[in-house]
Amino acid sequence: MEKFNRGIEVLKTLGFQVQVPREIFQRKRYLAGDDMERAKIVNRLFSDPGIKGIICARGGYGALRILNHLDWDLIRKNPKPFMGYSDITAILTAILSETGMPVLHGPHVVSLATADAKTLASFVDALSGSSKTIEIPDGKAIREGIGMGILKGGNLATLCHLLGTRFQPDFAEAVLFFEDIGEPAYKIDRMLTQMKLAGLFDKTHGVITGSFENCDNGEYIEEIVDECFDEYQVPVLFGLDAGHGKTNLSLCFGRMIKMDTMARKIQWV
């Protein structure tokens, strides 16, 4: 709660008016309340014309459980910015597939409490629509080249859990972004291999990796990514500051981007 309240104050300091639904503080086991009730909050926020954007309080496994209870027709008819990351990837991916509405992969309220200046600036730029280019000076080109496609992706483990469901992601003609936390290298390998065997990467136009925090044998991840995408002959850029790391730059999923591994940058077009 301390971080949540600090995050709310950050939003207010940035100039946003904040409304907090009282129901988000409910509890059911390890969840923030009953599935249907949590979905009703999201549906209500989309239907309310007074709400101009939605930012998740935090990540959490329970996001996956509410997908079948969201009103996709209502969401499609009331487009507005929706932001979160980590397990919120499930909702971001579902919104994209069900409505075609762009979504924002970026901080949630709790992470805003300790966000650095780069994270905050990127957050404001993304919400204002002024985000055009992201420089990645410390990025590493695993495979050089230029790629264009719709930016999609998010948390790798969550994307993997959507396989075989109605909400399975479609990365055809997309630039794929993924990141993760707390997963040892062999699990990163296993998840990428499963997605590869499922054919998810067959028509992907490019790959960008984010942060891999607290991942055992993290020194292997670059090699794993290289091996996974070697046969596709698409540009692969390693090291965008987005995800669970200290800096979490905001990314607009569902919009066309151009990635350039030589210039180490991505730009929305």
β-pairing, 140-143 with 146-155? unpaired
Q: What is the mean pLDDT of the chain?
A: 96
Distance CA(247)–CA(163), nearest Å, equals: 29
Sheet holding 103-105, edge to edge: 54-55, 82-84, 103-105, 251-253
**Residues 160-188: what's their mean pLDDT?**
97
pLDDT digits (tens, 9 = 90+) for 137-160: 999 999 999 999 999 999 999 999
Task: Write out the DSSP string of 13-36.
Answer: HTT------GGGG--BTTBSS-HH
Q: Are 81 and 92 in contact (CB under 8 A)?
A: no
| pLDDT confidence of residue 130 | 81
User: For residue 57, how many C-alpha atoms fall within 13 Å in the half-sphere facing its CB?
Assistant: 21
First to last CA, the chain: 39
pLDDT digits (tens, 9 = 90+) for 210-259: 999 999 999 999 999 999 999 999 999 999 999 999 999 999 999 999 99
**Residues 32-48: what's their mean pLDDT?**
95
**R_g of the chain, CA atoms, integer Å:** 18
**Residues 188-214: what's their mean pLDDT?**
97
Give me the residues paired with residue 53 across strands: none
Report residue 31's pLDDT band, with 50, 70 and 90 as the boundaries. Answer: confident
Burial readout 149-158 (b: 16 or more C-beta within 10 A, e: otherwise): bbbbbbbbbb
pTM for the full predicted model: 0.96
Structural domains of the chain in order of their starting residue, each with its CATH number: 2-128 (3.40.50.10740), 133-268 (3.50.30.60)
